[in-house]
Amino acid sequence: MADLRGGDLSRLRQLNSLTAIRALRRAGPLTLSALAERTGLSRPSMKEVAGELMDLGWVEEVPPSPGSMGRPARRYRFRADSGYLVGVDVGGHNVRAALADLDGEILAETRQPVLPDAPLEERLAAIERAVSGCLALGRVPVSDLWTIAVGTIGVIDVEGRVIYSAAVPSWRDLDLAGRIREMFPCQVLIENDSRLAAMAETRRGVAQDARDVVFLHVGRRMGAGLIIGGKVHRGFGAAAGEIAMLPESRWFDAPEHLNTCAAVPEGTPPEDAAGCTLAAARNGDPVALEAVGRYLDDLAVGTAAMVLVLDPQVVVLGGGFSRSADVLLGPLRDRLERRCMRMPEVRASTLGDECVVTGAIEYAVDHLDDRLFTPEHGPLPLTR
Amino acid sequence: MADLRGGDLSRLRQLNSLTAIRALRRAGPLTLSALAERTGLSRPSMKEVAGELMDLGWVEEVPPSPGSMGRPARRYRFRADSGYLVGVDVGGHNVRAALADLDGEILAETRQPVLPDAPLEERLAAIERAVSGCLALGRVPVSDLWTIAVGTIGVIDVEGRVIYSAAVPSWRDLDLAGRIREMFPCQVLIENDSRLAAMAETRRGVAQDARDVVFLHVGRRMGAGLIIGGKVHRGFGAAAGEIAMLPESRWFDAPEHLNTCAAVPEGTPPEDAAGCTLAAARNGDPVALEAVGRYLDDLAVGTAAMVLVLDPQVVVLGGGFSRSADVLLGPLRDRLERRCMRMPEVRASTLGDECVVTGAIEYAVDHLDDRLFTPEHGPLPLTR
DNA sequence: GACTTTACGAAGGAGCCCTTCATTAATAGC
DNA sequence: GCTATTAATGAAGGGCTCCTTCGTAAAGTC
């Protein structure tokens, strides 16, 4: 269960070092006095801690800020550029990637189109190009890349192996983490894309105040991502959130109401049909409105199931159709109100296409933090 | 988010004291050497820690165990009897209570029958009698009672107020925690009974190995309790697990299949009908078997919804009907297998009627541990 | 009764944090 | 340009917590 190890003096120092890093990461460059005050340590102690962190390369000094009374104070900042993270979104039509520093600040982005039916190797090559492109744009050597976090459709097991993917058949049984690790010598994390999108919304999107969140990925495919206690909930076999598999949830076929609507002009490519219906509904087309109503009737069932099971604070409407949130949000709320015991807030995603990539980076930052702040993993590494 | 406070030397000592307590609680009486070895501290340091804990009243010395070579070693034990906890199960027909020490070891149990339609004050009086009875049986003065944890049907808000209770109408809008605090001057915790039962199963029942558990309360009423990451999941408004409210889950009316079965002899009181059906099914009565089949068809839908949302390691079948687990378990597994993406283990509860009381005590122990092991709440109290 | 085994207790040392005070380097006012 | 004010720096001294090492004490074994 928990650790039974007692602490040494050095353990105390380690704790205080981590506290200092945490304070610097949260509040940007800080003077020694400010750091000491925030952490509750005395100035001399904090100076020692800061000196040690500078020796290790985690922290560096920045020029003092002028214009203040008294002797100018030294300022320290967390060296977010001592390592880099890449977030990747492997979608049906695109592979997106973004480069970020250890604070999760995005520095460069790339996009590689792929055909939905592209063979496996082509898709993997697109991932490699996307990541390399990011690194090149940011002028970051591969050796400084610490972590790649990948979001993709499908069920991914604990080791980063794809168990099941309805959308990308060639993905199945692929050791995706292994393949990417062959390309880039760094830590590789794989996670379901809906879960990463949920992550993004709780960290940088519309659900930053919430610790229990249900993210609805509404688009041509249905998916869900759960945040419980501020953390991604994967489930024991990484299959959490797959409510669409249950026929009674009425999720799986829900998008058909939008695809087969009579309001869609003939000759519209199938991937644009739902968008047409939603646009027509916005313009008040009664046929389209009815189709949207039927769609939401179905969507509300599976959503209510999740809400009743988890009682989240916030439900976030995300995915491709969330561009039409103005048409969807109100009626969805009405339908949920009738079914839910305690009505959660329902909000529309604001992050758009970069949602999964952003979430992947937040996920990578979290993993870094876990390694940093659980001292079981040995003392602070990185000796510059 | 997290604390930014750095640590003092005294903080280190506090950490080590708590580690020592934890080790003693887990492993019973220990010699100084054993304690030192387990915690990784040196003997002299551990001696100091132990001395301090004895002064505070958390730990006491026990006679050395004879029969070993060498000088007999002092032994210390956690004073689980320096405070007491009571768990209460407020059911429709009974109020059960159990007295336990700080280790959660049950010392005495009582039961007070109440009529299902008893007025509010009568029910509260039964609670008072049940708790007082426990204390008397265990010869524990009220002043040594630290915590009462109560499990009851219905939705309970964060402050211990009953929001909603279908079974006990007089319960509604009651400040249960407040009323009990008027009777006994101690900490009072209120929680939904299904959640406490779930807790009991993960701590002392059939799901001790699992951290993500769905507990099904199957009986004349349907309920569910969720354990996520080893902790009770309440949800933002304490309404988690209320899947029965969703008509599509087919939970609410599921027990009707058992109540209205033709295999039930005429004149059977309605509360025994389901039991008759289950008994008949066990004897191979085809009519009863069909009713059980329809019941499980319904039960499986809501259960599958929870499993697909959460992907738990274990589903525990508990509640009144779990006495007939032999009839239910296999067919339920078959039905879930067809619907779930990753099939969880399905196990039958073994704790029986004491389930909720046991869970309440575990819940109280957890709260104690939280207060003990999050040093924000000040240093170790209890100065004897 | 001597020997082995195991634990106890005291002494000395190192690390980490704290408080205090003289010193230093800026700005503000004359 | 000089002095006063302000705020941070750096060094000294002290206390607490942990560690290692030693001689001593109390059991069982031969």
pLDDT over 60 at B302, yes or no:
yes
As a whole number of angstroms, the distance between CA A356 and CA B316 comes to: 35
Are the C-beta atoms of residues B190 and B177 closer than 8 Å to each other? Answer: yes
Q: Does the distance separating the beta carbons of A311 and B342 come in below 8 Å?
A: no
**What residues does A345 pair with on adjacent strands?**
A314
The answer to whether A234 faces chain B, any CB pair under 8 Å, is: yes
Q: What is the 3-state secondary structure (H, E, C) of chain B?
A: CCCCCCCCHHHHHHHHHHHHHHHHHHHCCEEHHHHHHHHCCCHHHHHHHHHHHHHHCCEEEECCCCCCCCCCCCEEEECHHHCEEEEEEECCCEEEEEEEECCCCEEEEEEEECCCCCCHHHHHHHHHHHHHHHHHHCCCCHHHEEEEEEEECCEECCCCCEEECCCCHHHCCCCHHHHHHHHCCCEEEEEEHHHHHHHHHHHHCCCCCCCCEEEEEECCCEEEEEEECCEECCCCCCCCCCHHHCHHHCCCCCCHHHHCCCCCCCCCCHHHHHHHHHHHHHCCCHHHHHHHHHHHHHHHHHHHHHHHHHCCCEEEEECHHHHHHHHHHHHHHHHHHHHCCCCCEEEECCCHHHHHHHHHHHHHHHHHHHHHHCHHHCCCCCCC
The residue of chain B nearest to residue A208, with distances taken between CA atoms, is B1
Return the structure tokens found at B364: 């109280």
d(CA A317, CA A332): 10
Residue B275 CA and nucleotide D11 C1' are separated, in Å, by 83
Residues of B in contact with A250 (CB under 8 A): 248
Residue type present at position A293: G
User: What confidence score (pLDDT) does residue B376 get?
Assistant: 52
Residues of chain A with pLDDT under 70: 1-2, 67, 164-169, 373-384
Cα three-residue angle A269-A272-A278, rounded to 5 degrees: 140
Q: What is the pLDDT of residues B160-199, one digit of tens each?
A: 777 766 666 677 788 899 999 999 999 999 999 999 999 9
pLDDT at A371: 76
Please give the structure tokens belonging to residue A138. Answer: 């940011």
Residues 6 or more apart whose Cβ sits within 8 Å of residue A90: A123, A127, A150, A151, A152, A153, A168, A193
**Gap from B243 CA to chain A (nearest CA, Å):** 5
Tokens of B54: 């004895």
Residue B324 to chain A, least CA–CA distance (Å): 25
> How many Cβ atoms from other residues are within 10 Å of residue B5's Cβ?
17
Note which residues in 109-128 of chain B have CB less than 8 A from chain A: none
Q: Tell whether A32 lies on the interface with B, counting CB pairs under 8 A.
A: no
* Residues in chain B within 8 Å Cβ distance of A238: 311
User: 3-state class of A214 per DSSP?
Assistant: strand
Q: What is the pLDDT of residue B129?
A: 96
B384, burial (CB in 10 Å: exposed 0-12, middle 13-18, buried 19+): exposed
What's the pLDDT at A180?
Answer: 95
**Burial of A218 (C-beta count, 10 Å sphere; 0-12/13-18/19+):** buried
Question: Integer distance in angstroms from the first to the last C-alpha of chain B?
Answer: 34
Mutation to test the B interface, candidates A311, A313, A346, most B Cβ within 10 Å: A311
Residue B6: what pLDDT? 75
Check if residue A40 sits with its Cβ under 7 angstroms from strand C: yes
Return the bridge partners of B96, or none: B89, B111
Which B positions 320-359 lie with beta carbon below 8 A of chain A? 339-342, 344
From B64, B38, B59, select the one nearest B49 (Cα to Cα): B59
Separation of alpha carbons A310 and B236, rounded Å: 8
SS3 A36: helix
What is the per-residue pLDDT across B243-288, written as a single tens digit (0 to 9) for each?
999 999 999 889 889 888 888 788 888 788 888 899 999 998 999 9
- Of A207-216, B67-76, B88-97, the range with the lowest mean pLDDT is B67-76
Cβ atoms of A366 and A66 closer than 8 Å: no
A354/A357 Cα distance (integer angstroms): 5
Bridge partners for B75 per DSSP: B31, B62
Q: Where are the beta strands (DSSP E) in A142-256?
A: 145-152, 155-156, 162-164, 187-192, 213-218, 222-228, 231-232
Q: How far is the CA of B45 from the C1' of C5 (A)?
A: 23
Give the CA B380 to C1' D16 distance in Å. 18
* Nearest Cα residue in chain B from A247: B339
What pLDDT is stored for residue B378 in this prediction? 46
pTM > 0.85: yes or no:
yes
Q: How far is the CA of B71 from the C1' of C1 (A)?
A: 18
Q: Are B33 and B69 spatial neighbours (Cβ–Cβ below 8 Å)?
A: no
Residue B152 dihedral angles phi and psi, to the nearest 5° = -150, 160
Minimum distance, in Å, between the CA of residue A190 and any CA atom of chain B? 18
Average of per-residue pLDDT across B96-115: 94
How far apart CA A187 and CA B378 sit, in angstroms, is 39
Residue nearest to nucleotide D19 (CA to C1'): B42
Select the residue of B15, B234, B312 nearest A235 (Cβ to Cβ): B312
Q: Please report residues of A whose CB lies closer than 8 A to that of B26.
A: 4
Per the document, the length of chain B is: 384
User: Which bases along strand D come within 7 Å of a protein CB atom?
Assistant: 5-13, 15-21, 25-29
Within 8 A of B243 by CB-CB distance, chain A residues are 305, 308-309
d(CA B124, CA A101) in angstroms, rounded, equals 59
Using the 8-state DSSP alphabet, how is residue A211 labeled? S
Q: How distant, in Å, are the alpha carbons of A11, A170, A242, B50, B199 from that of A6?
A: 9, 50, 42, 13, 29
- Enumerate the residues of chain A whose CB falls inside 8 A of the CB of residue B240: 309-311
Could you tell me the sign of the dihedral formed by the alpha carbons of A63, A68, A71, A73, in that order? negative
Q: Looking at residue B329, what is its pLDDT?
A: 95
Residue type at A18 in one-letter notation: L
Q: Does A245 touch chain B (CB under 8 A)?
A: yes
Sign of the CA dihedral B37, B42, B44, B47? negative
Taking CA–CA distances from A233, the nearest residue in chain B reads B310
Least Cα separation, residue A314 to chain B (angstroms) = 9
Q: What distance in Å separates the CA atoms of residue B365 and residue A26, rounded to the nearest whole number? A: 35
pLDDT band of residue B234 (cuts 50, 70, 90) is: very high
C-alpha distances (whole Å) from B339 to each of A127, A176, B212 are 34, 27, 19
A130 neighbors A96 (Cβ within 8 angstroms): yes
Looking at residue A310, its amino acid is L
B71: CB within 7 A of chain C nucleic strand? yes
In the chain, the amino acid numbered B117 is: D
CB contact under 8 A, B243 and A308: yes
The pLDDT value recorded for residue B220 is 85
Closest CA to B227 of B199, B208, B206, B193: B199
DSSP A78: E
Distance (Å, whole) CA A55 – CA A384: 8
Chain B interface disruption, residue of A42, A308, A335, A373, most B CBs within 10 A: A308
Integer distance in angstroms from CA B47 to C1' D27? 21
Nearest to B312 by CA among B196, B223, B233, B217: B233
Q: Two tokens at B348? A: 């039958």
Sign of the Cα pseudo-torsion (A360, A366, A369, A370, in order): negative
Average pLDDT over residues B327-337: 96
Determine the residue of chain B that is closest to A343 in CA distance. B237
Strands (E), chain A: 30-31, 59-62, 75-78, 84-90, 94-101, 106-113, 145-152, 155-156, 162-164, 187-192, 213-218, 222-228, 231-232, 314-318, 345-348
Rounded Cα distance, A235 and B307, in Å = 9
Q: Residue B134 — left, alpha, or beta (φ > 0 → left; ψ -120 to 50 → alpha)?
A: alpha
Q: How far is A228 from chain B (nearest CA, A)?
A: 9
Pairing of strands B145-152, B187-192: parallel
| B81 Cβ contact partners less than 8 Å away, ≥ 6 residues apart | B101, B102
Strand-pairing partners, residue B31, are B75
Q: Which residue of B15, B309, B312 is in closest CB contact with A305?
A: B309
